[in-house]
Amino acid sequence: MARVRKAIFPVGGLGTRFLPATKAMPKEMLPVVDKPLIQYAVEEARAAGIEQLIFVTGRDKTTIEDHFDHSFELENTLETRGKTAELATLREWLPPPGDVAYTRQQAPLGLGHAVWCARDLVGNEPFAVLLADDLILSKTPCLKQMIDIYPEVRGNIVAAMEVPKAHTSRYGILSPGRDDGRLVQVRGLVEKPKPDEAPSNLAVIGRYILEPAVFDHLDKKKKGAGGEIQLTDSLIPLIGQSPFHGYRFEGQRFDCGDKIGFFEAQIAFALERADLGPAAREVVKRYS
Contacts of residue 288, defined as CB under 8 A and 6 or more positions apart, other chains included, come to none
Residue 31 · residue 152 · CB < 8 Å? no
Counting contacts by CB under 6 A, is residue 231 touching ligand G1P?
yes
Residue 201 · residue 170 · CB < 8 Å? no
Q: Which segment (45-53, 99-107, 130-138, 146-154) binds ligand G1P by CB under 6 A?
A: 130-138
Task: Please give the residues from 150 up to 179 whose contact with ligand G1P meets the rule CB under 6 A.
Answer: 171-172
Among 135, 205, 214, 265, contact with ligand G1P (rule: CB under 6 A): 205
Q: How far apart are CA 22 and CA 136, in angstroms?
A: 22
**DSSP code of 125?**
S
Among 45, 100, 111, 186, contact with ligand G1P (rule: CB under 6 A): 111
Amino acid at 83: K
Task: Please give the residues from 233 up to 272 whose contact with ligand G1P meets the rule CB under 6 A.
Answer: 257
Among 12, 36, 206, 224, contact with ligand G1P (rule: CB under 6 A): 206
Q: How far apart are CA 99 and CA 153, in angstroms?
A: 27
Size of site (CB under 6 A) for ligand G1P: 15
Closer residue to ligand G1P in complex, CB, 12/206: 206
Counting contacts by CB under 6 A, is residue 56 touching ligand G1P?
no
The residue at minimum Cβ distance from ligand G1P is 172
Q: Report residue 24 CA to chain centroid gap.
A: 22
Strands 35-36 and 31-32: what pairing?
antiparallel
Q: Which segment (37-45, 126-134, 211-219, 264-272) binds ligand G1P by CB under 6 A?
A: 126-134
Would the CA dihedral through 226, 232, 234, 240 be positive or negative? Answer: negative
Binding site for ligand G1P (CB under 6 A): 111, 131, 133-134, 171-172, 191, 203-206, 230-232, 257
